[in-house]
Amino acid sequence: MKKKIAFITGIAGQDGSFLTELLLKKNYKVYGIIRRNSVVEHQRNRIEHLSKNLELLYGDLLNESSLAQLLRKIKPNEIYNLAAQSHVRISFDIPEFTAKTNALGVLNILQAYKNEAPSAKFYQASSSEMFGRSVDKDGYQRETTPMEPTSPYGCSKVFAYNLVKHFRFAYKLFACNGILFNHESTRRGSNFVTNKVVKNSVKIALGFQKYLEVGNIHAYRDWGHAKDYVKAMHKILNYKKPDDWVVATGQTRSVGQMIDYVFNRLNLNKKKHLRINKKFFRPEELKYLKGDSRKIRKTLKWKPEYSFENMLDEMIDFWMDFYKKNNRSKEF
Ligand code: GDD
């Protein structure tokens, strides 16, 4: 049987690397684009262990002609658009770059898709950050919840989400949005809150440093594991029709509760080791996220395998092992 071909933007990120592993296991040929970077190794450390069925190419969402050329050549069956400026707080510092990449970049890849590979299926990494201030009366966000984004990042994602729907209806394309709530793992960038808390707490427990410094501990998030969430992406493109889907655990916890769990496991005292620093606050905070994922659970039979505790335990054990083996100066 002919191998299915996938094209992934953002392949070097947390989700791109887990999705690539999943698709290679399913016998896909995977192509991914990376941006030019002066230190090549930094781009590849999440994916360098993967096989010959993976090909990395240079490309950029801001360069439509290169996207078109690649899609014409590769002829993918599935396109996963995971590339983005994905850090919400940083989007307040670089709003224009964020909008160009996350909004106009999606327009670029949709145009290339429509013109060069219209029979492919298209997945857009949409985000629960799009809901912003909006929560339904029962305390959940779902596919029908209005969107009131609270950051340049959230605004850019709403633009892209609407474009994907528009391309689906206007040009009869199989274009889908996965509205993913927060999802974490040991591969999460260290400036997102879970991995930041875990790594720094482990270093405190080992005596390498004294404090964990964070921002708003009263925000609530619905945290799942990235490995579970990339399975949802694949299911979304392999359903009989294109649609938009919320992917979430349905449980919410505050940043403070997450820190409590990690500190308890490592026997750390908050009074002694936790500091609040204004520099990590956002001009406007998204205060509360809890996703209702009944639609994808019922229709696509998706459900998360990791619990919140299993996920944090895996991260704590990983970083404990890492820092015990390596000198702390050898970070990555
Ligand atoms: N990053 C960070 N650093 N966040 C902190 C800190 C800190 O020191 N202290 C408190 N927080 C709070 C943030 O204010 C936010 O309320 C929460 O922790 C989670 O922050 P992040 O882990 O940075 O994630 P996010 O929710 O802003 O965005 C992530 O999830 C979105 C889906 O809802 C990103 O992965 C986005 O790309 C994604 O779309």
**Cα dihedral 112/114/119/123 (nearest 10):** 70
Residue among 14, 85, 88 to mutate when testing ligand 1 (max atoms within 8 A of CB): 88
How confident is the model at residue 46, as a pLDDT? Answer: 78
How confident is the model at residue 42, as a pLDDT? Answer: 66
Distance CA 148, CA 155 (A): 8
Residue among 200, 221, 278 to mutate when testing ligand 1 (max atoms within 8 A of CB): 221
pLDDT at 332 over 50: no
- CA-proximal residue: ligand 1, atom 31 (nearest): 182
CA distances from 156 to 99, 131, 270 (A): 5, 12, 36
- CA-proximal residue: ligand 1, atom 14 (nearest): 216
Ranges of each domain in the chain: 5-183+224-247, 189-221+252-288+307-326
Percent of the chain with pLDDT strictly greater than 90: 91
Tens digits of residue pLDDT in 110-136: 999 999 999 999 999 999 999 999 999
Angle between helices 105-116 and 152-171 (to 10 degrees): 20
CA angle at residue 111 from 106 to 112, to 5 degrees?
100
Please tell me which residue, 329 or 86, carries the higher pLDDT value.
86
Band the pLDDT of 329: cuts 50, 70, 90. Answer: low
Tens digits of residue pLDDT in 164-181: 999 999 999 999 999 999
Tens digits of residue pLDDT in 137-161: 999 999 999 999 999 999 999 999 9
How confident is the model at residue 331, as a pLDDT? Answer: 54
Classify domain 189-221+252-288+307-326 by CATH architecture: Alpha-Beta Complex (3.90)
Distance CA 8, CA 10 (A): 6
What is the average pLDDT value for the chain, to the nearest integer? 95
Ligand 1 mean position to 88 CA, how many Å? 7
Q: Which of 153, 229, 306, 323 is catalytic?
A: 153
Q: What's the maximum distance between 2 C-alpha atoms anywhere in the chain? A: 61
- 247, 113 in Cβ contact below 8 A? no
Name the residue type at position 324.
Answer: K
**Is 129 marked active-site?**
yes
Tens digits of residue pLDDT in 199-224: 999 999 999 999 999 999 999 999 99
Lowest mean pLDDT among 48-62, 167-181, 238-252: 48-62
Q: Please tell me the number of Cα atoms within 13 Å of 127 on its side-chain side.
A: 30
H or E segment at 111?
helix 105-116
- CA-proximal residue: ligand 1, atom 27 (nearest): 88
Question: Any residues with CB less than 8 A from the CB of 262 and at least 6 apart, and which?
Answer: 197, 198, 201, 268, 312, 316
Atom of ligand 1 nearest to the CA of 188: 35
Tens digits of residue pLDDT in 270-284: 999 999 999 999 999
Atom of ligand 1 nearest to the CA of 84: 37
Please give the structure tokens belonging to residue 145: 């919840």
Distance CA 260, CA 268 (A): 9
- 76, 120 in Cβ contact below 8 A? yes
- CA-proximal residue: ligand 1, atom 15 (nearest): 219
Please tell me which residue, 270 or 48, carries the higher pLDDT value.
270
Distance CA 44, CA 32 (A): 11
Q: Which of 78, 116, 129, 184 is catalytic?
A: 129
The candidate with the shortest Cα–Cα distance to 30, out of 67, 74, 69, 70, is 74
Ligand 1 mean position to 225 CA, how many Å? 15
**Is 119 marked active-site?**
no
Distance CA 130, CA 107 (A): 17
- CA-proximal residue: ligand 1, atom 8 (nearest): 214
Which option is the CATH number for 5-183+224-247: 3.40.47.10, 3.40.50.720, 3.40.50.140, 3.40.50.970?
3.40.50.720
The arithmetic mean of pLDDT across residues 5-10, rounded, is 98
